[in-house]
Chains A and B, each alone.
Chain A
Amino acid sequence: MATTNGAVENGQPDRKPPALPRPIRNLEVKFTKIFINNEWHESKSGKKFATYNPSTLEKICEVEEGDKPDVDKAVEAAQAAFQRGSPWRRLDALSRGRLLHQLADLVERDRATLAALETMDTGKPFLHAFFIDLEGCIRTLRYFAGWADKIQGKTIPTDDNVVCFTRHEPIGVCGAITPWNFPLLMLVWKMAPALCCGNTMVLKPAEQTPLTALYLGSLIKEVGFPPGVVNIVPGFGPTVGAAISSHPQINKIAFTGSTEVGKLVKEAASRSNLKRVTLELGGKNPCIVCADADLDLAVECAHQGVFFNQGQCCTAASRVFVEEQVYAEFVRRSVEYARKRPVGDPFDVKTEQGPQIDQKQFDKILELIESGKKEGAKLECGGSAVEDRGLFIKPTVFSEVTDNMRIAKEEIFGPVQPILKFKSIEEVIKRANSTDYGLTAAVFTKNLDKALKLASALESGTVWINCYNALYAQAPFGGFKMSGNGRELGEYALAEYTEVKTVTIKLGDKNP
């Protein structure tokens, strides 16, 4: 047979693992401007800002710095693209899905480039960017491409002599403000459902990591989304972010970032035009290891759960509760793991941990580590920077951690694993839940009843049982309490990007 693409991908005869992609180390950055109406613009103010490579501390390039006037221009474009009768509004839903599939095709084509850009801009290991971030982007785009023509309203049997049905309409212009920890992936988590439902967008990528968003802009143009459907304004929170949150013509905003800024976004949204708000914020996620757990599995999952992405995950397993019978052994094995974790150049295929994103985060993490030492936690390994230059921090493990220590309460967002001891299930449920956060939780046990009990009792948007960071485009993700509002991914995401209209038509007096 001539082509065996499908055959190889679908687990057919070949079975050889795919060759490792070769990273492109000194990539030329082509897209650094503001993207509006499928065109590249300079900022109205003429200002630019620099974006840095956190591994080398060198400037990568300068990017146009947007501000309120640029946001206004982007919103105008997005509104025009959303007008009744516009190409985007007239497009069949199936065709919207087709465009998303074609965007996924281009992301696949340029996967290595995007992964290299992401690594340069964030410091995350290239192989992680390629196999995790980019894989997630492609799957999410394809998943929501499939939903486009399956967004169904209902016909409803009401009282009275009427016909009643709902239309599931797009909301309108959707703003999105995305973080620096998974820049492209967090953007796609918003873009895919938003476009699938027929909305238009104004996006602000994090100022630390604007490059992959802008590259995606070039792909959006190449695929042929109508002009104005997606607009991208790089810049800073207090300017661009605030402008988007409070813009009277933006109908909905989605924000992923810290709880502190999330509150500001929601306030601005309410004060301006009551725009709909979804938030994905921080977490102080409990990871509960019962005595009957598969200990190797638990150690490995807890380790990756807290150290993945340099500890910079909203899902970080940053409170590991271990049942007392297995506590000592768990700590011993975890320290062994942490000591072996390879920290270094993210373009090196052996590296698992790169630098922290910037000096501010670096300083904050070290400060929290110091607080751990001061407040009496036992430093098992790590506890300082890797060297006296750069943003690399040694994988750090604290044991004998108690609930009132800062490292047990505040989100660290760095490579620091606090391990706490518990006696009973009822006790650990209470302790796990006594936080204003509620993003994820994990449970390690072989016992059916314990698993179901904990799954039901933990106040978290996601509960993982005998696994960690098991995220899928098909399954909703989001926070209880102050970890967020609303859900991303899965069918549930569609509700956040849809406005329901009920239509009721009186029937004529004759009635069959």
Chain B
Amino acid sequence: MLRVAARLGPRLGHRLLSAAATQAVPAPNQQPEVFCNQIFINNEWHDAVSRKTFPTVNPSTGEVICQVAEGDKALETLDNGKPYVISYLVDLDMVLKCLRYYAGWADKYHGKTIPIDGDFFSYTRHEPVGVCGQIIPWNFPLLMQAWKLGPALATGNVVVMKVAEQTPLTALYVANLIKEAGFPPGVVNIVPGFGPTAGAAVASHEGVDKVAFTGSTETGRLIQVAAGNSNLKRVTLELGGKSPNIIMSDADMDWAVEQAHFALFFNQGQCCCAGSRTFVQEDIYDEFVERSVARAKSRVVGNPFDSKTEQGPQVDETQFKKILGYINSGKQEGAKLLCGGGVAADRGYFIQPTVFGDVQDGMTIAKEEIFGPVMQILKFKTVEEVVGRANNSTYGLAAAVFTKDLDKANYLSQALQAGTVWVNCYDVFGAQSPFGGYKMSGSGRELGEYSLQAYTEVKTVTVKVPQKNS
């Protein structure tokens, strides 16, 4: 679980590395053969109707891997650039737990019998919604696939899934496993392709009953509009964030520094819930900044197949350029560049771990989602002030509080407008606990029992009876 990674801190590197060293993590095949590169429909592989293919690129080298093809466990790292050790110990671990969790729900999502007025017997059936379109992103390809398939299939739906064009390989591998497991043909269908074509088609299809999307707020808007314009299909969205991480002066300093670092830099900064506004109480501000910079400078950037690497490349050239653009705006708008700020290698999409201090709320880097290894540290005085500033955002995905005080923890967790509030931790996920956004970070919840609701259509059945008795 990410909690495992979270607890580790600098020990993250060490624990994972020693796991790799003692061969708890199998050695990666750095050049896996790819053979699943087609469209998966009815448990069979098809070429695109247009016969087109698209290249998928290895972000560590900038080279084309193939025209969409197959592989093994190293696939996620090859396609996305995330460190292999983390892909194995964190992503895959969470995928397994998510699938097993939802397997358990299949026969437990009860309807109710209801004491209605009159001589009637009333009950509800929890029926599947029907055909569910699912559009998933490139930052956690396998995990996002599991988060979507789990509740959809547990409640009896069928799925048409469009995978991100940057990272289609692992989802297609899983398609083969779906066939092997024995799901009837047609239950899961997977279509690799692009947003404006395949994605738009799913969002506006008259035969799709529900769409679930994870990605940018900008695209989320388009999905919701398309759903409304076509057949009013049900919509759930998991979008972007600019999550505040609030460090009170009584926090455990070592722990807070490590967690705040992890909160921003994990997955190359490519997390919807990244702690991208680190608010530090003024009494401890200077020391916190100094330690955070030291930590960022020690972050190991490199080949994701190397077990020593903590940070791989950004996923593609578009993201790479966009992040560098934000760094530039930070410099221009007067934030204090404390470390990093540039490219980290001469090929691929590597960026130096970057820290800005003295960030002000009005700066672009304090308002817009960067989705890269760029940390913003801001100063605050009082709890009331920081609540106002933290909530002053159209986003509301996650938030965190570091404090030892019971009352402050309660006050802040109640006040923050965020779908998840972490207290003295960050990025702790469990298949059991719901996750989702307030405001423009999304609608609906994934994970936990709550996710089942979005994949269920409630039917009320009311039967006349000769005489009702309680």
Contact = CB atoms under 8 A, between A and B. Distances in A.
B383 to A, nearest CB: 8
A507 B105 contact: no
B104 A456 contact: no
Nearest to B106: A146
Nearest to A457: B469
Contact of B108 (A2, A12, A147): A147
A510 B411 contact: yes
A9 B182 contact: yes
A453 interface: yes
A1 interface: yes
B387 A94 contact: no
A276 B180 CA distance: 47
A111 B395 CA distance: 55
Contact of A6 (B182, B410, B411, B430): B182
A147 B104 contact: yes
Contacts of B181: 6-7, 10
Nearest to A151: B432
B465 A508 contact: no
A152 B104 contact: no
Interface in A1-27: 1-12
A445 to B, nearest CB: 14
Contact of A143 (B107, B182, B407): B107
Given A94-B101, A150-B108, A456-B469, A505 B410 contact: yes
Interface in A424-455: 448-449, 452-453
A433 B153 CA distance: 43
A512 B415 contact: yes
A146 B108 contact: yes
B449 A150 contact: yes
Given A147-B108, A452-B465, A512-B414, A1 B179 contact: yes
A10 B411 contact: no
A149 interface: yes
A102 B41 CA distance: 33
Contacts of B430: 94, 149
A508 to B, nearest CB: 3
B410 A491 contact: no
Contact of A94 (B184, B383, B431, B467): B431
Contacts of B104: 97, 145-150
A264 interface: no
A351 interface: no
Interface in B232-254: none
Contacts of B384: 510
Given A510-B411, A512-B411, A98 B100 contact: yes
Nearest to B110: A491
A157 to B, nearest CB: 12
Interface residues of A, number: 41
A508 B181 CA distance: 53
Nearest to B406: A505
Contacts, number: 96
Given A149-B101, A491-B110, A449 B411 contact: no
A contact face: mostly helix, strand, loop, or mixed: helix
A163 interface: yes
A149 B387 CA distance: 33
A152 B449 CA distance: 10
Interface string A148-161: 11101000000000
Interface string B424-452: 00000011100000000000000001000
A474 interface: yes
B25 interface: no
A373 B163 CA distance: 75
B35 interface: no
Interface in B31-78: none
Contacts of B88: none
Contact of A449 (B387, B431, B432, B466): B466
B103 interface: yes
B121 interface: yes
B248 to A, nearest CB: 13
A508 B410 CA distance: 8
A505 B411 CA distance: 12
B194 interface: no
Interface in A155-213: 163
Given A143-B107, A505-B410, A456 B465 contact: yes
Contacts of B431: 94, 149
A94 B103 CA distance: 12
A215 B249 CA distance: 58
Contacts of A101: 100
Contact of A507 (B106, B407, B465): B407
A474 B108 contact: yes
Contacts of A511: 411
A101 B383 CA distance: 47
Interface centre among B406, B408, B468 (most CB of A within 10 A): B406
Contacts of A148: 104
B207 to A, nearest CB: 25
B3 to A, nearest CB: 10
Nearest to A93: B432
B430 to A, nearest CB: 8
Interface in B119-158: 121
Contact of A149 (B107, B121, B432): B432
Nearest to A455: B121
Nearest to A94: B97
Interface string B84-110: 000000000000010011011111101
Interface in A94-150: 94, 97-98, 101, 143, 145-150
Nearest to B416: A512
A94 B183 contact: no
Contacts of B468: 456
A10 B410 contact: no
B196 to A, nearest CB: 35
A8 B432 contact: no
Contact of B182 (A7, A94, A474): A7
A343 to B, nearest CB: 37
A193 B130 CA distance: 33
A366 B53 CA distance: 80
A448 B100 CA distance: 40
A4 to B, nearest CB: 7
A106 B408 CA distance: 49
A512 B387 contact: yes
A156 to B, nearest CB: 14
B240 to A, nearest CB: 25
Nearest to A3: B180
A449 B120 CA distance: 11
B182 A10 contact: yes
Nearest to B383: A510
B271 to A, nearest CB: 23
A463 to B, nearest CB: 13
A508 B407 contact: yes
Contact of B466 (A1, A143, A453): A453
Nearest to B102: A146
Nearest to A10: B182
B363 to A, nearest CB: 26
A263 B51 CA distance: 75
B386 to A, nearest CB: 12
Given A457-B469, A507-B410, A507-B411, A146 B179 contact: no
A511 B406 CA distance: 13
Contacts of B106: 146
Contacts of A3: 180
Contacts of B415: 512
Contacts of B383: 510
Given A6-B181, A94-B430, 13 more contacts: A7-B182, A10-B183, A94-B97, A146-B107, A149-B432, A150-B104, A453-B466, A453-B467, A456-B465, A507-B407, A508-B407, A508-B410, A512-B387
5 contacts: A1-B179, A1-B180, A456-B121, A508-B406, A510-B384
Interface of A: 1-12, 93-94, 97-98, 101, 143, 145-150, 152, 163, 448-449, 452-453, 456-457, 473-474, 491, 505, 507-508, 510-512
